[in-house]
């Protein structure tokens, strides 16, 4: 999510586990990162990073429970906060930065 806010991400290809010593137990891939021509509008990078990291730190919780310390109770009443972090778009996170305390 943090990378997608600032870069266009393009999947290129998989890398075989046998290319590493010792072979990892996870799949690897090569991606291309190109800076976005039009940046996502947000309050500031610090607020965006704090919001995204806090939301994904407890990704099994709803957004309301994960980030409740960053917003006033009236803002947390929005239905958007019933979702989990992975269900939000980059733009939704960026928009939320303007509503933070």
Considering the domain architecture, whether residues 29 and 67 belong to the same structural domain is answered as no
| 40 domain residue, yes or no | no
| Cα–Cα distance, 1 to 55 (Å, whole number) | 11
Q: Summarize pLDDT for 27-84 with one digit per residue, the tens.
A: 999 999 999 999 999 999 999 999 999 999 987 899 999 999 999 999 999 999 999 9
Range of the domain at 16: 2-35
Residue 9 C-beta-side C-alpha neighbours within 13 Å: 11
How many of the other CB atoms lie within 10 Å of CB of 63?
A: 26
Dihedral pair phi/psi, residue 12, rounded to 5°: -110, -60
Collect all residues with Cβ–Cβ distance below 8 Å to 31 and sequence separation of at least 6: 9, 10, 11, 12
Considering the domain architecture, whether residues 51 and 22 belong to the same structural domain is answered as no
Considering the domain architecture, whether residues 56 and 89 belong to the same structural domain is answered as yes
Could you tell me the CATH number of the domain that includes residue 57? 1.10.8.100
Considering the domain architecture, whether residues 68 and 93 belong to the same structural domain is answered as yes
Counting the structural domains of the chain, the total is 2
In which band, very low, low, confident or very high, does the pLDDT at 92 lie, cut at 50, 70 and 90?
very high
């Amino acid at each position: 999510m943090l990378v997608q806010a600032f870069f266009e991400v393009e999947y290129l290809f998989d890398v075989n586990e046998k290319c590493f010593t010792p072979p990892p137990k996870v799949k690897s891939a090569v991606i291309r990162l190109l800076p976005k021509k039009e940046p996502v509008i947000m309050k500031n990078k610090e607020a965006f990073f704090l919001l995204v990291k806090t939301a994904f730190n407890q990704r099994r919780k709803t957004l309301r429970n994960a980030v409740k310390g960053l917003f006033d109770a009236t803002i947390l009443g929005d239905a958007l906060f019933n979702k989990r972090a992975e269900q939000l778009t980059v733009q939704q996170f960026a928009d939320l930065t303007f509503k933070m305390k």
